[in-house]
Amino acid sequence: MLQSAALSSRSVGIEIEGLVKRFGSVKAVDGVSLAVEPGEFLALLGPSGSGKTTILMAIAGFEYPDEGRIRVGGEDLTWVPPNRRNLGMVFQKYTLFPHMSVLENIAFPLKMRGLGRAEREERARAALATVRLDGYGERKPSQLSGGQQQRVAIARAIVYKPRVLLMDEPLSALDKNLREEMQIETKHLQREIGITVVFVTHDQTEALTMADRVAVLDQGRLQQIGSPHDLYETPRTAFVAGFIGETNFCKGRAQGAGVAGQRIGVTLDGGDVVEATAVEAVAQGAPVRIAIRPERLSLGDPATGLAACVEEAIYAGNATTLLLALPSGQSIRLRVPAGAALASPAVGERVGLSWRVEDARAFGDAA
């Protein structure tokens, strides 16, 4: 166990209630409520302008909300200044002091808090050991790799035993391979330390890899919060279905009225009739969109399935993606994993598509 007793602190939860933040006429955060459990790793995920960073800044105290409450460990911090919240922060740019050694960088927050030299050094070395950088204390930041600098930034953020660790896209500056490595490393460190983490990212793969739960945001509103498995397998909105993973959407109209969780028939724009599971109540004849993952589609006989024509086959090593044209002219994707017994059809070949009803989710389509 790499956690040092010098760094241990009790995990606390976070409660956000009815959070609203405006910038002029724009509602950056629109009535968001959520709870983070003690010791949980929560990712705030969404596109640019979704409100995720504004929420993080409100928790940190760098932004004050127009409405709502923020509680950490049961204490109302809504209007408490940042320096009195005892929260750790890791930014996208690590902002390490280039003229200081690694150990001096880590000890700096303790110096600002008035701790003596001996205690500062002891706790800084313990933090360095926690992030697996024993022996690097005398180096300068310029002598470290990007991943090592990121770990130093984490060590500096946890050295004063914060109640919560806030992270604002801290891995975005790393190259792909190092970023993937640090995703796992950061998650392991969080588990060992046992601290509550709120992590902002726009990268869905990063969120699914690292987080216990993910809060998906769009245009300032919370769309869904749940485990990575729940978000991928049972998205509650068309936005979540399209933003998490890769999804095909097929437009059509409900053949009959349906309720959430019920199997319904859908007449696609091209005239074909298929079945899907309703995510919400739909009226007969109402416009709907069916969401189906590329890997959940199956190939078969065009006489018995939804007829399609192969437009392109894209080989990517671990899978082949087929670009298919439906009778309506819409293109959808089907993914065949490498090693599958089914041979990939040739470009121009006609095929039949099918799926399990529970894998196709029908959303109301107001557009």
pLDDT in tens, 224-257: 999 999 999 999 999 999 999 999 999 999 998 8
Radius of gyration of the chain (CA): 25
Half-sphere exposure of 352 (CA within 13 A, CB side): 9
* Six-digit token string for 205: 């793969």
User: Model's pTM, two decimal places?
Assistant: 0.88
pLDDT of residue 342: 64
Class of domain 246-364: mainly beta
Half-sphere exposure of 3 (CA within 13 A, CB side): 15
Res 333 pLDDT > 80: yes
**Boundaries of every domain in the chain:** 14-233, 246-364
Nearest Cα to Cα of residue 187 among 89, 88, 42? 42
pLDDT of residue 145: 86
Does the domain made of 14-233 have the CATH classification 3.40.50.1970? Answer: no
Strand pairing partners for 290?
250, 362
Residue pair 357/290 in contact by the 8 Å Cβ criterion: no
Q: Can you tell me which residue has the tokens 């950088």?
A: 133
Model confidence pLDDT, tens digit, residues 280-302? 999 999 999 999 999 999 998 88
Residue pair 212/226 in contact by the 8 Å Cβ criterion: no
Model confidence pLDDT, tens digit, residues 184-227? 888 988 988 889 999 999 999 999 999 999 999 999 999 999 99
Which whole number is the average pLDDT over 117-125? 90
Nearest Cα to Cα of residue 164 among 64, 38, 1, 77? 38
Q: Can you tell me which residue has the tokens 């189906």?
A: 292
CA angle 89, 26, 23 (to 5 degrees): 50
* Separation CA 44–CA 26 (nearest Å): 20
Residue 1: pLDDT band (50, 70, 90) is: very low
Strand pairing partners for 159?
none
Distance of CA 236 to the CA centre of its chain: 16
